Structure 1
Amino acid sequence: MDPYWKGKAAVVTGAARGQGAAEVLRLLRAGAVVHALDVLPDGDGSWTALRTAAGDDADRLRVRIADVSSESDWLALAQDLSHGEAPLFGLVNNAGVTLRKTVTETTHSEWRRLLDINLDGPFLAIRTLAALMPAGAAIVNTSSTAGLTGYFSAAYTASKWALRGLTRAASMELAGRGIRVNTVCPGLVETPMIMQPNAVHDAGRARLFYEGNRDATPLSRGADADEIAAAVMFLLGPEASFITGADLPVDGGMTGGGIYWRIGKATGNL
C-alpha cells in the first residue's frame, strides 16, 4: 500500500471496465477510497468483475451510477463528497465514447451526444469538484493520440483536441491553489471498444481498423489497460508534483514516430 494515498479519495469516471477499471484497481491497491462512476446499472457484470478484482480492497470502493454529462449528477456527488470520509485528492476524467464517422457522415445529434460525454463531462467534473480539492490534488483528463494528430473520426477527434485545451485552461486557473491538471493520451489500447463495430465499420472493418492502429505503432502492439493506468497514477501522484498543463502520450511511439516511422518501415530502414 502506498502511504501517499492512505486516507485520500479519488473519483474515476467510466470506471466499470477497461481503462477506468484498471485505474480504480490501481488506486484501491494504493490505499485510496475510490468513487467509481459509470452509467452501467449496478447489476451489470462489469461491476461484479470489478468488485471481485478489488478483493480485500473492495471495502474502499464506492460504486456510483451517474451520467457524466448530467450537471445534477455531479452536484449530487459533490454534496456527498463534501461530507465524505476522505479529502478528494484525485479526479480521473476517463469516461468517453467513440464514433468512427467522418464530418459528412456524422449527424448533429451524434456530434452533440459525443461532445456531451467526452468534453462536457470533464468540464462539469472539474467545475463542480475542484472546489473540494486541497493543495496537492491532481486531475487527469483522458485525451487520445486522436487529440494530437489528424484522424478521420470527426466528433471524437474534436472532443479529444478540445479536452487538451480544457486541461490547459484549468491548469492555469488551479495552479495558484496547488492543484495540477494534465492529460494522458493513449494510443491503441486492448479494450473491447477498439473492436466495436458500428454503423460505418462492421466487424471486418473494425478488425482492419485495429490492425491499422497496431501497424502504426512502433512497439507493434496495443497497450494493456493497466499500462495506461500506471501513467495516470504517475500524473496523480507526488512524483509528478512539478508537472501541470502537459500531455503525456502513452502510445507505443505512435505519435513520436509520425510519418517518418511509416516511411522508414516501408523502405526497409526500420
Structure 2
Amino acid sequence: MTDTYWVNKTFIVTGGARGQGAAEVNRLLRLGANVVVIDPLAPDSPDWAIDRSRADHLKIVSGSVAEEATWLEALDAVKALGSPLSGLVNNAGITLRKTVTETTLAEWENLLSVNLTGAFLGIRMTAPAMEAGASIVNVSSTAGLTGYFSAAYTASKWALRGLAKAAAIELAPRKIRVNTICPGLIDTPMINRPNAGYNANQASAFFEGNRAMTPLGRGAGPDEVAGAVIFLLGPDSRFITAADLAVDGGMIGAGIYSQIGRQVGTIKDPD
C-alpha cells in the first residue's frame, strides 16, 4: 500500500544493500517512493536484500560514499527517476573494534572516510538539489552518545551528530531538516559475524554484553530502526530538526543502574 505523501518523491539511501539500510530502502519502496541506493556491493551480487519488484522506482549506484564521483552519479540517478529529491539517509558505515593505541593510521582514515566523510559529501552535494521540506537523517549509534572503546568508530559517530547539527542550522531557512538516529543493539550481520578484529567468541560476547545492557532485553530488528528513519523523513516530524533520537531499547537513557538493578535482583530479567 502506498501513501500519497511519498509518491513522486525520491530519496537517497547509502549502504542500502543489506541489513538496516535494506530495511530502510524496502520501507520507502513500499510507501511508493523512488529510491537511489548507494552501496559498494556489485549490483548483481546475490547478497542484496532489497525488494526489486518495483524496479522502475529504484536506481542502484555501485561505489564508495567517500568519492565525489559516486555522489555525482547518484544525482544523475535522481534526475533519471524524474521526481524531486526529498531526502537523504546517511546510513553507510563500517566498524572496527580496536582501541586508540591498537588502531593504525590507515585504519583510522579508512573508517572515517566512509562513516564521516561520506556523510559530509552526501549533505554537501545533495542539499543544493533538495526541495523545500526535504529531510536528511544521519545514522549514528549509541557509541555516539557515550564512551565506547572502539576509537575510530566512536569518533565517527560522535562527529555525525555534530555534522547534522551544523547542517541543520544552515539548511533550516530552506525548510530542510537534519536529524540523527542513534541505534543501539541491532541484530544484523555487522554486529553478529566475526569481523572488525573480533573472532567468533568475541563477537558472541559483544552481542550478549550489549543485550544485557539493554533494558528491553533484546536487540532490535533492522525494520524497527527503519521505522524511526521513516518517521524523521516524513511529515509527522516536520517540526523536528537538529535532534538526536536514540533507538536503543533504553540502553543510554537507563544508564548503568539498569544493569546494576539486575545484578542485585531489584530488576528482573524479562522471560
TM-score, length basis structure 1: 0.96
C-alpha separation in 1, matches of 2:82 and 2:172: 25
Moved more, 68-77 or 240-249: 68-77
Alignment-derived partner of residue 65 in structure 1: 62
C-alpha separation in 1, matches of 2:39 and 2:168: 25
Q: Is the 8 A contact 1:25 1:54 kept in 2?
A: no
Alignment-derived partner of residue 87 in structure 1: 84
Q: 1:204 aligns with which of 201, 204, 207?
A: 201
1:11-33 Cα offsets, whole Å, 9 max, x none, are: 00000000110000000011101
Establish whether residue 227 from structure 1 lines up as the match of residue 224 from structure 2: yes
Q: Is the 8 A contact 1:28 1:54 kept in 2?
A: no
Alignment-derived partner of residue 31 in structure 1: 32
Alignment-derived partner of residue 251 in structure 1: 248
Q: Is the 8 A contact 2:10 2:33 kept in 1?
A: yes
Alignment-derived partner of residue 239 in structure 1: 236
Q: 1:162 to 1:258 in 2, by over 3 A?
A: same
C-alpha separation in 2, matches of 1:86 and 1:120: 27
Q: Is the 8 A contact 1:234 1:240 kept in 2?
A: yes
Q: 1:123 to 1:268 in 2, by over 3 A?
A: same
Quote how far apart the aligned CAs of 1:124 are. 0.1
Alignment-derived partner of residue 113 in structure 2: 116
C-alpha separation in 2, matches of 1:26 and 1:143: 20
Aligned residue for 2:41, secondary structure, equals: coil
Quote how far apart the aligned CAs of 1:265 are. 1.5
Quote how far apart the aligned CAs of 1:58 are. 3.1
C-alpha separation in 1, matches of 2:56 and 2:93: 27
Moved more, 258-267 or 159-168: 258-267
Q: Which residue identity does 1:262 align to in structure 2?
A: Q
Q: Is the 8 A contact 1:11 1:37 kept in 2?
A: yes
C-alpha separation in 2, matches of 1:26 and 1:54: 12
Quote how far apart the aligned CAs of 1:84 are. 4.4
**Gap regions ≥5 residues in structure 1:** none
Moved more, 191-200 or 85-94: 191-200
Identity of aligned residues (%): 60
C-alpha separation in 1, matches of 2:158 and 2:196: 24
Quote how far apart the aligned CAs of 1:54 are. 4.3
Q: Which residue identity does 1:39 align to in structure 2?
A: P
Q: Which residue identity does 1:34 align to in structure 2?
A: V
Q: 1:82 to 1:42 in 2, by over 3 A?
A: closer
Alignment-derived partner of residue 143 in structure 1: 140
C-alpha separation in 1, matches of 2:196 and 2:5: 46
1:87-120 Cα offsets, whole Å, 9 max, x none, are: 0001000000000000011000000000000000
Aligned residue for 1:134, secondary structure, equals: strand
TM-score, length basis structure 2: 0.95
Alignment-derived partner of residue 41 in structure 1: 42
Quote how far apart the aligned CAs of 1:76 are. 3.0
Alignment-derived partner of residue 21 in structure 1: 22
Q: 1:170 to 1:45 in 2, by over 3 A?
A: same
C-alpha separation in 2, matches of 1:195 and 1:133: 36
**Counterpart mapping for 1:156-171 below 5 A:** 156-171=153-168
C-alpha separation in 2, matches of 1:70 and 1:199: 23
Alignment-derived partner of residue 12 in structure 2: 11
Q: Is the 8 A contact 2:57 2:81 kept in 1?
A: no
Q: Is the 8 A contact 1:97 1:117 kept in 2?
A: yes
Q: Is the 8 A contact 2:99 2:150 kept in 1?
A: yes
Aligned residue for 2:97, secondary structure, equals: coil
